Amino acid sequence: MSQRQVLQVFEQYQKARTQFVQMVAELATRPQNIETLQNAGVMSLLRTLLLDVVPTIQQTAALALGRLANYNDDLAEAVVKCDILPQLVYSLAEQNRFYKKAAAFVLRAVGKHSPQLAQAIVDCGALDTLVICLEDFDPGVKEAAAWALRYIARHNAELSQAVVDAGAVPLLVLCIQEPEIALKRIAASALSDIAKHSPELAQTVVDAGAVAHLAQMILNPDAKLKHQILSALSQVSKHSVDLAEMVVEAEIFPVVLTCLKDKDEYVKKNASTLIREIAKHTPELSQLVVNAGGVAAVIDCIGSCKGNTRLPGIMMLGYVAAHSENLAMAVIISKGVPQLSVCLSEEPEDHIKAAAAWALGQIGRHTPEHARAVAVTNALPVLLSLYMSTESSEDLQVKSKKAIKNILQKCTYLPALEPFLYDAPPNILKHVVGQFSKVLPHDSKARRLFVTSGGLKKVQEIKAEPGSLLQEYINSINNCYPEEIVRYYSPGYSDTLLQRVDSYQPLNN
């Protein structure tokens, strides 16, 4: 009888612990409770419960800790300061899969906030055990471990290097080949975060044979997996020509282009990013993209979406056009210029406008034909207004000015140049007048048109310092016309005529 009573006390205690830890875990899911929990000293209580004899209590305590640490970096730091991590890492190796999952969750929640916290995890020796967890039988454990590794690796190159040194990359590549979509997703994003820091890290990812497996999965119907895979491929290919060629050799063209038609915005964005990262390296790679019809697909993609999703596509067009005049011509015949000028005038954000302006400048700077193609779409006045507007950012002003200059210096399409005579600032007017001075001596029809449209009059009104380049251009324009006409259109000519009338003495006597 008495023995039973004694044992009942123990049973009650165990029940109470279970209940406490479950309630804390539940409460920790709501952000508004967290401060109260912290003030109540939950951290030290949970720490002791992590060492509990009952596995479920341990697991639940770890879960509660993870949720707390997930909330903000102060709590994550508190977890680190309480010396909980070594304990977790120690038991991560030995306990069952539920505990492993919960412990990996805590590590992930701590490591995601800052490089220092991630470094603290690495210092505890967690990487080796996490890598061992990647070999676990249970996909849930693998996923949790891959996720934790991803959050550690994403901060900087040193942490990524530490993850690579722990031997995570081959196991992550194996994880990609697992049937579970969630695991694939996390493993792909972990590889992406590892590869993004430096060429060497990207090279280790490539050496582990990740690219072929990633490339195979581009056609997967799951949108989230697709966008992680595309991001991983673009992070690999962004570093150097060799890596980009490796990615291209995995035969991602023209399969990638189907992703540009996807419903999901992120998939579109990452697909354009991938194409951009490949095209930016060399003219040959750009040519390859053009030959695969990538430019047309990207242009269609730009047309079908809004905002930031457009940005990589716009930049890709700029990179392709910058490489050579033939590639720029290919962009033009793919009807890229109207799309870009639509972006330029429609997009509300400055950085996208700046990218579009830059791309237009790259397209128009090669030959008069290119410049004409840009000028015909009426992009120049828009660029000018962006340059003149006080609301545009500094970067946008600089980019649009450069684009205007690049295009104007090649442009011989006079109807597009004419409006610039009236509302361009002197530093741009110089180039406009320069273009007129180059074209007019050789084109009689244009000379006539220039007079009738009032251009000559406007040129006479320009105030130029004697001896400057502008004055020289004006003189060479004036030399194309008879002196009477020039004088007739000079400002103040009528006054002088009237004065002559006044001073004239009639010869009647």
Partner 1 sequence: MATLARLQARSSTVGNQYYFRNSVVDPFRKKENDAAVKIQSWFRGCQVRAYIRHLNRIVTVIQKWWRSFLGRKQYQLTVQVAYYTMMMNLYNAMAVRIQRRWRGYRVRKYLFNYYYLKEYLKVVSETNDAIRKALEEFAEMKEREEKKANHEREEKKRDYQARKMHYLLSTKQIPGIYNSPFRKEPDPRELQLQKAKPLTHRRPKVKQKDSTSLTDWLACTSTRSFPRSEILPPINRKQCQGPFRDITEVLEQRYKPLEPTLRVAEPIDELKLAREELRREEWLRNVNDNMFLPFSSYHKNEKYIPSMHLSSKYAPISYKEQFRSENPKKWICDKDFQTVLPSFELFSKYGKLYSKAGQIV
Comparison of 7 and 212: residue with beta carbon closer to partner 1: 7
Of 220, 227, 160, 147, the residue nearest 187 (C-alpha): 147
By C-beta, is 134 or 141 nearer to partner 1?
141
Query: Could you tell me which residues come within 8 angstroms of residue 333 by beta carbon, excluding any fewer than 6 positions away?
Result: none
330, two tokens: 């290919």
Q: To the nearest whole angstrom, how small is the minimum distance from the Cβ of residue 22 to partner 1? A: 7
Smallest gap from Cβ 297 to partner 1, in A, equals 6
> Of 107 and 428, which CB lies nearer to partner 1 in the complex structure?
107
Identity (one letter) of the amino acid at 285? L
- The DSSP string of 450-508 is HHHTTHHHHHHH----TTSHHHHHHHHHHTTS-HHHHHHHSTTHHHHHHHHHHHPPP--
Query: CB of residue 202 vs partner 1: minimum separation in angstroms?
Result: 29
Give CA torsion, residues 498, 500, 502, 507, to 10 deg: -140
Q: Is 81 or 261 the residue whose CB approaches partner 1 more closely?
A: 261
The stretches of 305-349 forming alpha helices (DSSP H) are: 310-323, 325-333, 336-346
CB of 240 to partner 1, least distance (A): 27
Count other C-beta atoms under 10 Å from residue 263's C-beta. 7
With respect to partner 1, which residue has the nearer C-beta, 55 or 454? 55
Nearer to partner 1, 108 or 213 (CB): 108
Residues near partner 1 (CB under 8 A) are 4, 7-8, 10-11, 14, 22, 26, 29, 53-56, 59-60, 63, 95-96, 98, 101-102, 105, 140, 254, 257-258, 260-261, 263, 290-297, 300, 326, 329-330, 333-334
| Nearest distance from C-beta of residue 334 to partner 1, angstroms | 5
Shortest Cβ distance from residue 96 to partner 1 (Å)?
5
| Least gap, CB of 328 to partner 1 (angstroms) | 11
Token pair recorded at residue 225: 């997996």
The H or E element that residue 281 is part of is: none
Nearest distance, CB of residue 488 and partner 1, angstroms: 41
Checking phi first, is residue 126 left (phi over 0); if not, alpha (psi -120 to 50) or beta?
Answer: alpha
Measured distance CA(207)–CA(194) in Å, rounded: 13
Rank residues 52 and 77 by Cβ distance to partner 1 and give the closer one: 52
How far, in Å, CA of 290 to CA of 293, rounded? 5
19, 25, 30, 33 alpha-carbon torsion, rounded to 10°: 70
User: Between residues 333 and 469, which has the closer beta carbon with respect to partner 1?
Assistant: 333
What gap in Å lies between CA 209 and CA 193, rounded to an integer?
16
In angstroms, what is the minimal distance from the CB of 314 to partner 1? 18
Q: Which is nearer to partner 1, 40 or 333 (CB)?
A: 333
- Least gap, CB of 77 to partner 1 (angstroms): 23
Burial of 4 (0-12, 13-18, 19+ CB in 10 A): exposed
> What CA–CA distance (Å, rounded) separates 59 from 235?
36
Burial of 50 per CB tally in 10 Å (0-12, 13-18, 19+)? buried
**Please, which residue, 149 or 329, has the CB nearer to partner 1?**
329
